[in-house]
Structure 1
Amino acid sequence: MKVLLLGGTADARRLADALHKEGRHQTGLQVIYSLAGLVRIPKVDCQLVVGGFTQFGGLATYLRDNDIGSVLDVTHPYAQTMSQKAVDAAREVGIPCWRFHRPAWEKEAQDNWTEYQTDEDVLAQFSHYRVPLLSAGQMSEDLLTTMTQLPNIEHMVWRTAVEPTFSLPDKIHWIKAIGPFFLDDERQLLMEQGIDVIVSKNSGGKATYAKLEAARALSIPVLLQRRPVLPVADREFSDLETCLQACLAAWGSASLRQRQQKDSQQ
């Protein structure tokens, strides 16, 4: 059986490598790993598809043309569009779509977190601060310009993994950085830049959690974007090992049966 794994996260790479290894040695399960490739292209042993599915006529067409038996969505928890397309395309083709997303971060007693949902929500909070650290991924030019025009904002630090596609206002200091990040480094950044608020997504995991630890230690408030509501997948997992074993049990067994049937017909 062929499984299309929609990736772009560290969890996706781990699952792709583990499934490929087990499938190759035991069951004949074939993994195809897909990612946008905007940040970096990882080294994986399985087949790799980079750049999305428009190049193939859409995701549903790719699933049919490549005889994909299942989809495993291990994209970023905020990749709402891709998760929606995965569920819709799998349903259209008539195959299962499973999803793994790492658990969201949980607030601790000394954390000063305020959740927000929309750009308007975060702008409403900005009247209290002077030097924000924007660590919520890509933001629109209009939003950033509006932020810099607020009279209380002295300057902003914007940290992303991908270079902006537009010119930035003078008030914005852009930093290119890819996790994992470490507590001492995050603490130093916050202190050197005089950061008085952090804007972040609730991505979960360990790679970018240190900024929240540093904020807790320095009593810096955090504006944390709520996770989007995603369409329901056929099965959903929040533990990596549980997901791996379920995939091997279901898809590995199916691949083995298919291989045995093929052998018996020869």
Structure 2
Amino acid sequence: MKLLLLGGTADARKIASVLTAAGIEVIYSIAGLVRKPEMHCAVLSGGFSKRGGLAAYMQTCNIDAILDATHPYAIKMSSQALRVCNELAVKYWRFNRQPWQPREGDQWLSVANWQQLITSCSAYHQPFLTTGQLQQAQLDSIASNSEQVLYRTAAAAQASLAANVKWLKAIGPFDLHSELALLDQYNIDVLICKNAGGIATYAKLVAARHLQIPVIMLARPAPIMQNTADQFSCIETITQAVIDRNESMKSCQ
């Protein structure tokens, strides 16, 4: 089996490692905006537009299946991958790690969309934004209602920064001590984030709990798939499903 693994997350790298060790030919695809990881498989950086599009790339490279382990909020890429797989009659799996759940002491407000988020954060003055890259209008709306905004992303900010926006470039994982110090240093009164799940960036939520800082959390988008049999939230389960299919394909040759 030749597997195209849509990655860019820590979970995706773990999945690639397991499948490569199992003898599956993995092509690990990333956008290439942050860094190119060292992998024991082929790494494809920069997307598919310059390669004629996803469908053309899959046909040219004889891709047998896609495993989509992109970020839970990367709906555009996931929707495209699912559509192309359906068109080409190619197997598609989706890995979506479990969302975070509130614990005792958390002060979380879950919002469904950006308009609700902007409205909710207007009551605060010094937000910590950890929502990834923002559109200009989104960042400006938050900055216009704030005394100071701390804005952290893994790659250079694509939007222009207002005078009251302090930008930090940082890549997780983050530890609790550093997150506590950051919230204290900038007098943060609200944390704004997405419900990404995982452990790499969870420390900020623990820090907010310790300091009794409220959290405004953008809820996850609706799942793109109706077939739940091909959706997984456990690395061991999805890697075993791929390995089993690979063995089945070999037995049919």
Normalising by structure 1, report the TM-score.
0.91
Residue 83 of structure 1 contacts residue 230 of structure 1 at CA under 8 Å; is this kept in 2? no
Q: Which moves more between the two structures, 61-70 or 179-188?
A: 61-70
Alignment-mate amino acid for residue 163 of structure 1: A
Residue 179 of structure 1 aligns with an amino acid whose one-letter code is G
Match of 1:198 in 2: 191
Structure 2 equivalent of residue 247 of structure 1 = 242
Residue 67 of structure 2 is matched in structure 1 by 72
Q: 2:164 aligns with which of 171, 182, 187?
A: 171
Runs of 4+ in 1 over 3 A off after TM superposition: none
Question: Structure 2 CA distance, aligned partners of 1:32 and 1:148?
Answer: 40
Give the 5 Å matches for 1:193-232: 193-232=186-225
Measure how far apart 1:170 and its partner are: 0.8
How big is the shift at 1:253?
A: 3.5
Residue in 2 that maps onto 1:162: 155
Instruction: Using the TM superposition, give the Cα deviation of residue 134 of structure 1 relative to its aligned residue in structure 2, in angstroms.
Output: 0.3
Moved more, 229-238 or 106-115: 229-238
What is the distance in 2 between the residues matched to 1:243 and 1:87?
A: 17
Question: Is the CA contact (8 Å cut-off) linking 2:113 and 2:219 kept in structure 1?
Answer: no
* 1:84/1:230 contact within 8 Å kept: no
> Structure 2: where are the runs of 5+ without partners?
none
- Deviation, 1:165, is 2.8
Number of equivalenced pairs: 251
Q: How does 1:1-266 map to 2 (within 5 A)?
A: 1-23=1-23, 29-150=24-145, 153-232=146-225, 235-254=230-249, 256-257=250-251, 261=253
TM-score (norm 2): 0.95
Question: Structure 1 CA distance, aligned partners of 2:218 and 2:27?
Answer: 31
Q: Which runs of 5+ in 1 are unaligned?
A: 24-28, 262-266
**Whole-angstrom CA distance in 1 between matches of 2:133 and 2:158:** 10
Summarize deviations over 1:68-123 as a string: whole Å, max 9, x none: 11110000000000110110000000011001111000111211111112221111
Task: State the distance in 1 between where 2:123 and 2:194 align.
Answer: 20
CA distance in 2, matches of 1:12, 1:81: 18
After TM superposition, give the deviation of residue 125 of structure 1 in Å.
1.0
Contact 2:4–2:63 under 8 Å retained in 1: yes
Q: 1:4·1:71 contact (CA, 8 Å) conserved in 2?
A: yes
Q: Deviations over 1:139-187 (max 9, x none)?
A: 112222222222xx21010000011134311100000000000111101
